[in-house]
Amino acid sequence: MKMKIKRHHLAIRFTHWITALSILVLFFSGFGQMPLYKRYFVDQLPGLAWSSDFWVTLHLHYAAAIVLVFISIYYVTYLIATKKYDILPRQGDFKESLQIFKAMVGLAQEPESDKYLAEQRLAFAVTAFSIFALIVTGILKVYKNTVGASYSPDTIFWLAQIHNLFTVILLFSVIVHVLAFLLKPNRPLVISMFTGKIDRDYVIHRHGKWWRKLNPNTTVPEDTTEADAPAIAAEVPPDVLPEPGGSE
């Protein structure tokens, strides 16, 4: 049986899937406040008659937005409390991401990675900033509808434009995120978002920097293949290897 290493704690998996669900509901309810679903007969589909009701989609949008706000606060609190900032972008991530892409099409050698790939850290930054912008502009848009609030027409216009812009950016980010995991080298990472664990050999082969942090006395050559991984793992004393499903 292949040895597993814990990649994501329950808190991370919980945050990921609640965030994903709330964003999907926000997309669906947000587009539902336009006449799209009636115009294109989406509301004629079984169980979706409500989708063209503005008030239903508006309240659904608000509910999903509240969930997103709270899960975002929870995640930021988790990062600060645990000081696990390995998902944050680093200098050189863009260049490294290009090298990873070239490696996938056979034009370069893939660089060894830390726990997260450089492209994952960049994608996180884009997604996180988009969510932040949407939360801020969304709160301001809601405040506009309260008693006593007064915005100029220009402010209302630009609030809507910025909110729409980051909606498109977030949608594009989500699409790219999903498509990236259709690539064969990335598929094991998808499984880890459900189980929290990943094969040790995959870590040695692709995440050499992370493996050395888990096992500081081992050496992972840059040209390591998955076939080499068991031999490298065998060099590690048993008391140094992470427990199956052990700590990050």
Q: Over the stretch 234-248, which tens digit does the pLDDT of each residue have?
A: 555 444 445 444 444
Token pair 């988009």 is found at: 130
Phi and psi of 147, rounded to 5°?
-65, 130
pLDDT of residue 46 exceeding 90, the answer is yes
Position 248 scores a pLDDT of 44
Q: With cut-offs at 50, 70 and 90, classify the pLDDT of residue 182.
A: confident
Per the CB < 8 A criterion, the answer to whether 68 and 86 are in contact is no
Q: Is the pLDDT of residue 174 over 50?
A: yes
pLDDT tens sequence across 58-109:
999 999 999 999 999 999 999 999 999 999 999 999 999 998 888 877 788 8
Cα–Cα distance between 96 and 84 in angstroms, integer?
21
If one compares 188 and 229, the residue with the highest pLDDT of the two is 188
Instruction: Give the best-scoring range by mean pLDDT among 31-35, 48-52, 131-135.
Output: 131-135
What are the backbone angles phi and psi of residue 10, rounded to the nearest 5°?
-60, -35
Q: What is the pTM of this model?
A: 0.83
Q: Which residue has the higher pLDDT, 137 or 221?
A: 137
